A and B are shown apart, each in its own frame.
Chain A
Amino acid sequence: MRPHAHGGGARHGGRFPSIVDAIGFTPLVEVPNVCPNPNVRLYAKLEFMNPTGSVKDRVAKYLIEDLEASGRLTPDSIIIEPTSGNTGIGLAMIARRKGYRVAVVVPDNVTIERKQLLSLFGAEVIDSPGHLGSNGAVALAKHLVEKDSRFVMPYQYGNEANPRAHEETTAEEIIADCPEVDAFVAGLGTGGTLMGVGRRLRRHNPNVRIFASEPLPGETVQGLRSLDEGFIPEIFDPTGIDGKILVSNVDAIEALRELTEKEGIFAGVSCGAVMVAAKQLAREMERGTIVALLADGGWKYLSEDIWTRDLEGEEDIVDSLNLW
């Protein structure tokens, strides 16, 4: 296993005993053409360079190693997880390599590419109602675990292995590549990236600031009956971040197109939202260095015509798509 520390030599690439060992070690790339403040250096951490194309490979690896260490896996176990795609794809790939069975509970309105990838890695895909969003997937997965003892759930929303993956790998890489980092921006899903990276960066520099970009949920994916049905991931401590910026799908897509046009970076929709937040921060800073984490690539969103569709007057439709 290659240690998570970068010497003075080649930082990326390398030789590994398996695809699972090749997770992480992603490049950090400066994106000056989209940075609005010449006194701020803006870097993007390209998590789509992971084996299945998203940051969630890191989490999936830690979740499975945590299950293995816990002794909860037996020969007839089925690993089950609620996910809108990326975590499930990471889990399914690693499970293939290691010989485990995986089932994923996925809102039925996610892009077709995510379901295709899950299937080709051998995961059983269980649909949850799209209008209940990820809340619905979490609830259904918990219900299935109660009903059938073969199901074993790593549960990324409440498992410390999730932030630990980022504390021990993502953050270490950022510090090695960019020790002068002043601010870090990532999307808020489970909160794992923000909690884990934040914890490690603060030990490196107590003044570092951690910002979340959050999706503005579309009207059609807010099927709650009351606020008490709301959900805050168990691993997410709101005091662990310094700010939260809400970004609509339309604004995220515009920033995403700019990233492709001006920097040649082809990323997923949540990355556009991260760029919106990073640019807001850059404008407010006098000087300094920002690291923005781009969680996945654009491939899994091509079927929604993200780069070509007319956004004018389509805000309600676009905002109701499940793109995070």
Chain B
Amino acid sequence: MTAVRIPPVLRQAAGNQKKVEVTGSTVGEALESLLGEYPGLRDQIFTEDGSLNRFVNVYVNGRDVRYEQELGTPVGESDEVILLPAMAGGR
């Protein structure tokens, strides 16, 4: 099982969970496992053509998967997946 951290903006559609345990050996499989449990998240996380919504960032152990192997990025049991909304940075 891999833990996925759910940001506040997506929590309502994820049973108000902060963290959800999922299965799968890639980011894509882990997200499908999450959506299997909470189908209401699908429209927010994915676009109609099945790619990641540009306003959602997915990290495995702190690395943005867009710069790794995207949905094919491997995840292991001890890895932490974090979902975050794209937000304005500071300064």
Residues of A with Cβ closer than 8 Å to B? 54, 56, 83-87, 133-135, 137-138, 156-157, 187-191, 214-217, 219, 222-233, 238, 241-247, 270, 295, 322, 324
Contact = CB atoms under 8 A, between A and B. Distances in A.
Contact of B88 (A134, A216, A245): A134
B55 A228 contact: yes
Given A56-B91, A157-B88, A228-B55, A246 B8 contact: no
A282 B57 CA distance: 24
Interface string B63-91: 11011000000000000001011111111
A157 B91 CA distance: 10
B53 interface: yes
Nearest to B10: A227
B44 to A, nearest CB: 5
Nearest to A227: B55
Nearest to A224: B9
20 contacts: A83-B91, A87-B91, A133-B88, A134-B90, A214-B89, A216-B82, A217-B87, A222-B7, A222-B9, A224-B87, A225-B9, A226-B9, A226-B44, A227-B85, A230-B56, A232-B54, A244-B66, A246-B84, A322-B90, A324-B89
A230 B89 contact: no
A162 to B, nearest CB: 10
A189 B87 contact: no
B62 A246 contact: yes
Given A230-B56, A238-B66, A324-B89, 19 more contacts: A54-B91, A135-B88, A137-B88, A188-B89, A190-B89, A215-B89, A215-B90, A222-B85, A225-B9, A227-B9, A229-B85, A230-B85, A232-B54, A244-B63, A244-B67, A246-B59, A246-B62, A295-B91, A324-B91
B9 to A, nearest CB: 4
Contacts of A222: 7-9, 85, 87
Interface string B42-62: 001000000001111101001
A324 B90 contact: yes
Contacts of B82: 216, 246
Closest 8 CB pairs of A and B: A189-B89, A230-B55, A244-B64, A134-B88, A324-B90, A84-B90, A189-B91, A230-B86
Contacts of A191: 89
